[in-house]
């Protein structure tokens, strides 16, 4: 069975940059190129680990950031010709900032319009009719993707096994991992996300387990939260799921 996971990921490289600037409480006018480049490339690496399709403009932005970072680490050129080149590179950084400011204005305006649209949608006029659309397999995951990204990156950081281990024939599927996660949430009120991955043997198994977490989020069968900035990420069964599991236990093969 093939699982297609739709994530509310960043719409483009500027969207990702604005997110990194926001979470780090940076000023667009004073972006630390070295740090923002490191975080940007880290996010790209995780996208590759998950085999998510990378748009070309994400990679172009990555190359631009690496180039600007390299220029900031180089000594000041001694001759006039190289000084002029340095000024040109500084202008490139300023142009990046200008485009970020413009993009932020666009995002804020789009957000305001979307909020007004949602407010209008909640108003029912006399003689109005509406139809409830049932949830289907194409529903997107309603979850904080930045939170999941940080959690997944943390898991990968503590795993040093190679992607494949000769001699290990154990097979695992997304369905197997879904059952494992639901067993944990049925027997525990809260489950540390790291516990879900503690018996994974390699990166391949970690990715399959992570896909199972995403699938459970999509089906609204688990909730994911982080109570404070540096707390562990917690998984709980969605409201009503425990009662359902009690009435409809998994059938044994």
Encode 55-92 in three state secondary structure: CHHHHHHHHHHHHHHHHHHCCCCCCHHHHHHHHHHHHH
Residue of higher predicted confidence among 7 and 58: 58
Task: Please report the pLDDT score of residue 30 as a whole number.
Answer: 59
Residue of higher predicted confidence among 38 and 176: 176
CA distances from 27 to 90, 97, 114 (A): 17, 10, 26
CA quadruple 7, 11, 13, 15: dihedral, nearest 10:
-100
Task: Please report the pLDDT score of residue 119 as a whole number.
Answer: 63
Model confidence at 10, in pLDDT bands (50, 70, 90)?
A: very low
DSSP for 192-245? Answer: EHHHHTTT--SHHHHHHHHHHHHHHHHTT-EEEE-SSTTSPPEEEEPTTHHHHH
Residue of higher predicted confidence among 91 and 149: 149
Average pLDDT across the chain, whole number = 64
Task: Please report the pLDDT score of residue 180 as a whole number.
Answer: 92
The residue count for the chain: 253
222-225 and 191-192: which strand pairing? unpaired
CA 93/CA 29 separation, integer angstroms: 10
Model confidence at 147, in pLDDT bands (50, 70, 90)?
A: confident
Nearest to 192 by CA among 158, 151, 246: 151
Q: For domain 145-247, is the CATH number 3.40.50.850?
A: no
Structural domain boundaries in the chain:
13-121, 145-247
Tokens standing for 95?
Answer: 């142009």
Q: Is the pLDDT of residue 47 over 50?
A: yes
Residue of higher predicted confidence among 191 and 119: 191
**Arithmetic mean of pLDDT, 91-101:** 61
**Arithmetic mean of pLDDT, 83-110:** 59
The C-alpha angle with vertex 86 and arms to 85 and 88, in degrees rounded to 5, equals: 65
Nearest to 208 by CA among 231, 241, 180: 180
Residues 230-246: pLDDT tens digits?
677 888 888 765 554 54
Q: Is the pLDDT of residue 176 over 80?
A: yes
Q: Is the pLDDT of residue 171 over 50?
A: yes
How many CA atoms within 13 Å lie on the side-chain side of 175?
3
**Arithmetic mean of pLDDT, 5-24:** 52
Say what percent of the chain tops pLDDT 70.
Answer: 35
Task: Please report the pLDDT score of residue 253 as a whole number.
Answer: 41
- Lowest mean pLDDT across 29-38, 189-198, 208-217, 220-229: 29-38
Q: Is the pLDDT of residue 132 over 60?
A: no
Indicate if the alpha-carbon torsion angle 109, 111, 55, 21 is positive or negative: positive
H helix or E strand, kind and range, residue 191: strand 191-192
């Amino acid at each position: 069975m093939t699982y297609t996971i739709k994530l509310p990921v960043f719409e483009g490289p500027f969207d990702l940059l604005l997110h990194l600037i926001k979470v780090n409480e940076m000023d667009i006018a004073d972006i630390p190129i070295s740090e923002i480049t490191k975080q940007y490339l880290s996010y790209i690496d995780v996208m590759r680990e998950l085999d998510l399709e990378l748009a070309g403009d994400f990679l172009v932005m990555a190359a631009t950031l690496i180039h600007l970072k390299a220029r900031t680490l180089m000594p000041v050129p001694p001759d006039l010709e190289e000084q002029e080149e340095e000024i040109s590179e500084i202008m490139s950084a300023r142009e990046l900032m200008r485009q970020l400011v413009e993009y932020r204005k666009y995002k804020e305006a789009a957000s305001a319009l979307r909020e007004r649209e949602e407010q209008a949608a909640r108003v029912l006029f006399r003689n109005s009719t509406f139809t409830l659309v049932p949830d289907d397999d194409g529903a997107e995951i309603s979850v904080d993707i930045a939170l999941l990204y940080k959690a997944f990156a943390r898991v990968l950081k503590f795993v040093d096994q190679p992607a494949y281990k000769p001699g290990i024939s154990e097979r695992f599927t997304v369905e197997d991992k879904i059952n494992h996660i639901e067993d944990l949430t049925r027997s525990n009120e809260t489950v540390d996300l790291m516990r879900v991955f503690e018996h994974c043997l390699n990166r391949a198994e970690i990715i399959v387990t992570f896909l199972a977490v995403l699938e459970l989020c999509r089906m609204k069968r688990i909730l994911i939260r982080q109570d404070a900035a540096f707390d562990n990420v917690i998984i709980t069964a969605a409201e009503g799921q425990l009662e359902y599991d009690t009435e409809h236990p998994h059938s044994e093969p």
